[in-house]
Amino acid sequence: MISLSHNQFSYLIVTASYWTFMLSDGALRMLVLLHFHQNGFSPLQLAYLFLFYELAGIFTNLTAGWLATKFGLKFTLTTGLTIQILSLYLLSQLNEDWSHNFSILYVLIVQGLSGVAKDLTKMSSKSAVKLLAPENNMSLFRWVAILTGSKNTIKGLGFLVGSVLLATLGFYKSLLCMLIIVSLILIMSVFLLKNGLFSTKKNIKFTDIFSKSKNINFLSVARVFLFGARDVWFVVGLPVFFYNIFSDGTTEGKQSAFYIVGSIMALWVILYGLVQASSPRLFQNKENKDPNLIQISKKWVFYLFVNIISITLLFLIINEVFFKNLVLFLGLFIFCFIFAVNSSVHSFLILKFSKKKDVTLDVGFYYMANATGRLLGTFLSGYTFQVGGLMLSLTVASAMIGLCFFFTFFINENNENLGN
């Protein structure tokens, strides 16, 4: 029989809560995106629906690290789950008789609450890894990769679940189903987690949330452009592009398009998660030495730059619709593999660069940068697709990966002492 320490048991509860939350988060994104696209919202209006979701992440990540350091991870986790329940309930009260503009404002605010909830739970689970994982680099890398990979795989399943729920139960009943599931997880967390879990400081200053580490600052800027580049074509452009291809405008055609688009997006995120979880195996060596993951991060972001440039150029020069769509589809999944490795290495490096006593602050600061990139990418996804179609979205994504490549080269092992 496996014996778990109290901290390990607590970590399992935190992780289970995070997984359940991400399932509901992925389902909610597809519900909102497809439901409102079906109701005639433009690509830019669809992007607006997610702006507060990403904007909330910027401020939440800054304050979440401070709150967790002061009050513990149970506080931030259960607060996040409670806010998600509230946001699901409020979204279920949406009235289809409201005007487009008022509906956008209402959903935008509710999605902002969901964004707060997501980043409170994310920071809680990511910080717990640093505090529980063994000290050597590869062990920490494996723990981080498994957590981030499994999370994204489950979020991918959420995309599929959201599409299926929308096609079978409809928008409102689907929201109520998710509300019940998240409520059960909240009850489990309240009763099974110890108060003050992983809290380290009681007299922390709010100004301590800003990182003083050069490597963390450069890594955070690179993260802005890495995730901005993904979301600029992934959030609105790709789902709407594929929906327009597969839907013939009939009721049956729309339902079929829901399944197909949801399946494609789900498959992408599931594969993304599986690659993340298994990425440490790519860098194992026969001598069993720790690989230089700083140099590896520079090499793989270059691979990503070559990939997105190639997709963009081929999409531009190929005129035949079938081959253009084939390039997009295959390029999307090659991008998935390379992006997942980059994301996994980045997630390891932030914990490597963080000191244990400041881990919730550093992780919060880093994921604030992540949320900034997603906010920028989300807005540009709707704007570029509406103004110039998917071609403009791909061009902007290429430029952002180029900037990520540039800032990654400032990360240096000699910048500071790491992981104290």
pLDDT (average), residues 82-88: 91
Predicted confidence at residue 166, as pLDDT, reads 82
Say which DSSP state 409 is in.
T
CA distance 266 to 286: 35
Q: What is the per-residue pLDDT across 136-159, written as a single tens digit (0 to 9) for each? A: 666 666 777 777 778 778 887 888
Per DSSP, the residues of 2-31 read ----HHHHHHHHHHHHHHHHHHHHHHHHHH
Q: pLDDT tens digits for 156-172?
A: 788 888 888 888 888 88
Rounded to whole angstroms, the Cα distance separating 193 from 14 reads 8
Terminal-to-terminal C-alpha distance of the chain = 34
pLDDT > 70: percent of the chain: 85
**Torsion angles phi and psi, residue 45, rounded to 5:** -65, -35
Who contacts 121 (Cβ-Cβ below 8 Å, separation ≥6)? 17, 18, 21, 76, 77, 80, 81, 84
The mean per-residue pLDDT over the stretch 187-211 comes to 63
d(CA 117, CA 78): 9
Rg of the chain over CA atoms, in angstroms?
A: 21
Q: How many CA atoms does the CB half-sphere of 72 hold within 13 Å?
A: 13
**pLDDT average, residue stretch 97-118:** 84
Q: Please, which pLDDT band fits residue 378 given cuts at 50, 70 and 90? A: confident
For residues 63 and 204, the answer to whether their CB atoms sit within 8 Å is: no
Residue 403, number of CB atoms within 10 A of its CB: 17
Mean pLDDT, the chain, rounded, equals 80
Q: What share of the chain is helix, strand, coil (3-state, %, to 5)?
A: 85, 0, 15
Find the mean pLDDT for residues 18-39. 83
Q: Nearest to residue 48, comparing CAs of 119, 120, 113, 111?
A: 111
- How large is the greatest C-alpha to C-alpha distance in the chain, in angstroms? 66
Residue 360, pLDDT above cutoff 50: yes
Q: What is the mean pLDDT of residues 58-85?
A: 80
Q: How far is CA 373 from the centre of its chain?
A: 11
Instruction: For domain 10-415, give its CATH number from 1.10.10.410, 1.20.58.2050, 1.10.10.60, 1.20.1250.20.
Output: 1.20.1250.20
Contact call for residues 140 and 283 (beta carbons, < 8 A): no
**Is residue 334 classed exposed, middle or buried when 0-12, 13-18 and 19+ CB atoms within 10 A define those classes?**
middle
